[in-house]
Structure 1
Amino acid sequence: MTDGTKFILFLLLSSSSLCFGSDLDIQCLRSLKQSVIDSNGVLNSSWDFDNLDRPSSVGSICRFIGVDCWHPDENRVLSLRLGNLGLEGPFPEGLQDCTSMSGLDLSDSKFSGPIPYDIAQQMPYLTYLDLSNNSFTGEIPQSITNLAYLNVLKLQHNQLSGQIPERFNMLSRLTTFSVVDNFLSGPIPTFAHVFSPLYFTGNRGLCGAPLDECPRSRKWRLIPIRLRRINEESSIGAAVGFVLGFVVAFYFHLFCSKRLLPCVFRA
């Protein structure tokens, strides 16, 4: 499928959600608000769902803090910019109901726990995803590779572990990518060679371009060393045993030669 065909398909899907997306988008924001901890009361003071069923309420959610709409006169979420609002808790729920959302910013917050394994199924049209400066844990979901339109992916300053999925090579549109200060390890996929090494620092286990070359497997280095030590220890043991045996035999022979008759008699 060509890029032009994909873009046309995206427009068709977005247009279909224009008719059916309003109620779902409102439900999306309701679920999100209920699933996060709003310590600063930002959402509580701004996200007012009362009277949204009235005709005059069309476009009301577009006035919510952090909510961008496709058009100011329709309740259809284009993106959520919820960074630096003091929100906390696990990854927000209900985002799959924002059916035509293309951008999500949860940066500089206190979110924790894993990133949903099915994040691409929840928000298939994301072009921008910023989860930086949180406390997300676990591995980077493989499903992110299915976000065909993704241009920006920011995961820096979290507690993510494991490897960067090799299938990230499929993210052909990616122009910005950062995993600074996590606990990632293993070789960096080839897609990342075009990015600055500064975007991968703070992960002691990461290696490969654009960072230093990965060392050869340590296991294959340890085996010959251990075998050599075993052989050396065996050789030393055999030598010691030989010397001790020779000394014992020599003294026994010397003792019996001086006292030949007693030895023969005793025998």
Structure 2
Amino acid sequence: MTTQTLTTSTATDSTPTAKDLDQQRATIRRDLAATLRWFGAHGYQFGLAGHATVRDPGPQERYWVNPAGLPFAAVTEDDLVLVDADGAVVEGRHSAAGYQSQVEVHRARPDLAAGFHVHAPYIFAWSSAGGLLDPITTDAAWLAPVQALRESFDQPITEAIGPTARVLIQRAHGAATFGATIAEAAYWFVAVERAAHAQLVAEAAGRVRLVDDAVLATWQLTPASAHAQFQALLDHFVAGEDARR
């Protein structure tokens, strides 16, 4: 399975050809649809709520988004919608799910090409308290340097996420996660949902202890590593889908 890769644009990069752009779009569509199905298969949706955004590689400001009214588990590449900077549908047979706040993040943070806001159960429960997740395990420690808090919808989302965060916990409204690639953004969501589950269970048991500062300082996860970890899960998931056809 060809996958979206982490790239850094430089002044010496050659201009991509139409064929290059078509190949990149095909990869984006395949990975985005498969990731949404993975989320659906793992219970990361409530009703039809939630949305995904991925910046199109072309010169115009356009975004690939999930279709409104379709469960994540049912999304195929052909269901995805391409919208312009104003939200008008450029390509696709469905209307687009709500995505405007995520587009604001993409505009403010060119390093973040993909984003997910998914109504998964544990991060929604955790967000009711309106706080960041604590590094109570080494898995949760990976989130410490990349998370930020949005206390209310009155706070501009770009102000809340700031210049470095990739995970935004929104009070009483779960989380949104972002990355340079689809797989990176998806991995942060898996990590935040797992960390929320662990902390809720630990607090209910009354047995919460933070990771030592010395460990926390060295327990870091790079964007490339986050990308690689989810991409491996996604490739396995798609292989299983193919085997069942």
Structure with more relative contact order (C-alpha pairs < 8 Å, separation 6 or more): 2
Q: Which has a greater percent of strand?
A: 1
Which TM-score applies when normalising by structure 1?
0.27
Which TM-score applies when normalising by structure 2?
0.29
